């Protein structure tokens, strides 16, 4: 149906707990879903959970616990923080480890159709995808395939941190190694590589076409072009109509890292006295495609603005009985109109919030001078509640 939207959002690797930079991505995706619902669409959303990969195996071994214990603990923190930040839990939150059979089927199909092949590496039988077999490979990241190496190169790991692009064949299936996590399958013992996991999850639950695919900008390089290539190689159809990628969050103009001691989690901010609504607004009060720099001063400024808006909104409840005014009616209409105009401009939450603040401030001044009736105030509050279904920071 025309009013139904399927959204695939690239979720976290659960070998670590998410930080506020990760939640910035999850929040713009939440805003997207809520705004589409505001417009009357029926949204079905899927989020992938990467619970089996090279990094999870290493981390679990370091912590001397099972991968299941490690990833379950971090998933619990994730969904606790979703509740704290008023992020809707997607209709499907799917672990990669639950889509093994679909991954196996994809690998088999890709090999059969000539897009992938088997190769022995370090005494294990792995499957690799040959990007040169897929016309249009790298179209998301706009990679120049003329620069592709003439000699075959293979990349055997799930990820290569710091490498801007893996120019070569990427791994689809890890054969069972000495310390590996393995499943016995019809293509042999092993596990699906990170590169095929999202394609397996999405195609199993949504089929081979979604309306919107979304994630962080770091997934634009390699990961999403891999997902797209795998799905389209099997189906021959366009995988996603729209791709959205959110930019990074920095702290004092530096990338977050444990070595710098500047990695923050929602708990850290709550512990300093900030409210969850403050953090939610701060993380969306900047265009999702642009880098956001976190400083305590910037956070405080957003907090003050939100607190002031909440006080003005609450004060609207004090309006007294009286005749309606054309000025008030025009302002009330402007509340929803300016909100929608801004949100329709690629989810411009900052402008939407600022226009909302401006219009509420004018209503507040009308009320202060006795020129706002209780009926007009209630009409304004009803619209604000509808708008806040999207923002989730006012009431």
pLDDT band of 164, cuts 50, 70, 90: low
| Average pLDDT of the chain to the nearest whole number | 95
53 membership: H or E segment, kind and range: none
Whole-number pLDDT of residue 62: 94
Residues 6+ apart with CB under 8 A from 67: 51, 52, 56, 57, 60, 181
Least confidently predicted of 42-46, 50-54, 304-308: 50-54
Residue 230 has pLDDT above 80, yes or no: yes
Classify burial at 142, counting beta carbons within 10 Å of its beta carbon; exposed 0-12, middle 13-18, buried 19 or more.
exposed
**Is 342 within a domain?**
yes
| Higher per-residue confidence, 370 vs 83 | 83
HSE (CB half, 13 Å, CA atoms) of 161? 2
Spatial separation of the C-alpha atoms in residues 361 and 312, rounded to whole Å? 7
Domain count for the chain: 2
Note whether residue 276 is domain-resident. Answer: no
Q: Which domain holds residue 390?
A: 296-395
**Residues 125 and 186 both lie in one domain:** yes
Final residue in a domain of this structure, among 196, 222, 250: 250
Select from 280, 330, 333, 331 the least CA-distant residue to 302: 280
pLDDT of 163 reads 64
Residue 300: inside a domain: yes
* Same-domain check for residues 101 and 237: yes
**φ, ψ of residue 270 in degrees (nearest 5):** -60, -40
Q: How far apart are alpha carbons 253 and 66 in whole angstroms?
A: 36
Tell me the C-alpha distance between 95 and 36, whole Å. Answer: 26
Whether pLDDT at 4 is above 90: yes
228 and 371 together in one domain:
no
Helix (H) / strand (E) containing 357: helix 349-368
CATH (domain of 328)? 1.20.120
Q: Which two tokens stand for residue 231?
A: 């799905």
Residue 80 in any domain: the answer is yes
Structural tokens at position 7: 């959204």
| 3-class secondary structure per residue, 74-97 | HHHHHHHHHHHCCCCCCCEEEEHH
| Same structural domain, 348 and 206 | no
Where do the DSSP E strands lie in the chain?
Answer: 4-9, 42-49, 92-95, 116-121, 124-129, 154-155, 169-175, 183-185, 188-192, 210-216, 240-246, 249-251, 254-255, 292-294
pLDDT value of position 290:
97
Q: Which helix (H) or strand (E) holds 46?
A: strand 42-49
Q: What is the CATH number of the domain that holds 127?
A: 3.40.50.620
Distance (Å, whole) CA 339 – CA 250: 28
Indicate whether 262 belongs to any domain: no
Q: Is the pLDDT of residue 256 over 90?
A: no
257, pLDDT greater than 90 = no
């Amino acid at each position: 149906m025309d009013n139904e939207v399927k959204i695939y959002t690239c979720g976290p690797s659960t070998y670590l707990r998410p930080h506020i930079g990760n939640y910035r991505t999850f929040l713009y995706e939440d805003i997207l879903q809520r705004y589409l619902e505001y417009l009357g669409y029926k949204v079905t959303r899927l989020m992938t959970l990467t619970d089996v990969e090279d990094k999870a195996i290493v981390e679990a071994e370091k912590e001397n616990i099972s991968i299941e214990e490690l990833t379950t603990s971090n998933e619990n923190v994730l969904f606790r923080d979703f509740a704290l930040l008023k992020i809707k839990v997607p209709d499907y939150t799917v672990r990669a480890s639950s889509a093994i059979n679909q991954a196996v089927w994809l690998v088999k199909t890709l090999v059969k159709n000539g897009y992938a092949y088997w190769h022995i590496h370090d005494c294990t039988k792995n499957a690799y995808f040959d990007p040169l077999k897929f016309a249009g490979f790298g179209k998301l990241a706009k990679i120049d395939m003329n620069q592709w190496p003439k000699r075959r190169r293979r990349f055997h790991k799930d990820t290569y941190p710091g490498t801007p692009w893996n120019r070569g064949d990427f791994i689809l299936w890890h054969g069972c190694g000495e310390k590996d996590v393995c499943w016995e399958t019809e293509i042999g013992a092993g596990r699906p590589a990170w590169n095929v996991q999202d394609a397996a999850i999405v195609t199993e639950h949504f089929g081979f076409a979604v309306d919107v695919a979304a994630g962080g900008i770091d997934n634009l390089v390699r990961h999403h072009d891999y997902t797209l290539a795998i799905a389209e190689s099997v189906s021959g159809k366009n995988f996603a109509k729209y791709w959205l990628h959110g930019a990074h969050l920095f702290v004092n103009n530096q990338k977050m890292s444990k070595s710098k001691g500047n990695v923050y989690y929602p708990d850290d901010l709550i512990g300093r006295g900030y409210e969850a609504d403050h953090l939610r607004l701060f993380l969306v009060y900047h265009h999702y495609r642009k880098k956001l720099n976190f400083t305590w001063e910037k956070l405080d400024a957003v907090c003050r603005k939100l607190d002031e808006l909440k006080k003005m909104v609450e004060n609207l409840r004090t309006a007294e009985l009286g005749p309606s005014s054309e000025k008030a009616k025009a302002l009330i209409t402007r509340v929803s109109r300016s909100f929608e105009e801004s949100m329709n401009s690629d989810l411009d939450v900052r402008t939407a919030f600022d226009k909302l603040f401006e219009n509420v401030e004018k209503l507040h001044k009308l009320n202060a001078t006795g020129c706002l009736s209780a009926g007009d105030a209630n009409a304004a509050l009803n619209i604000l509640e509808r708008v806040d279904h999207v923002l989730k920071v006012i009431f």
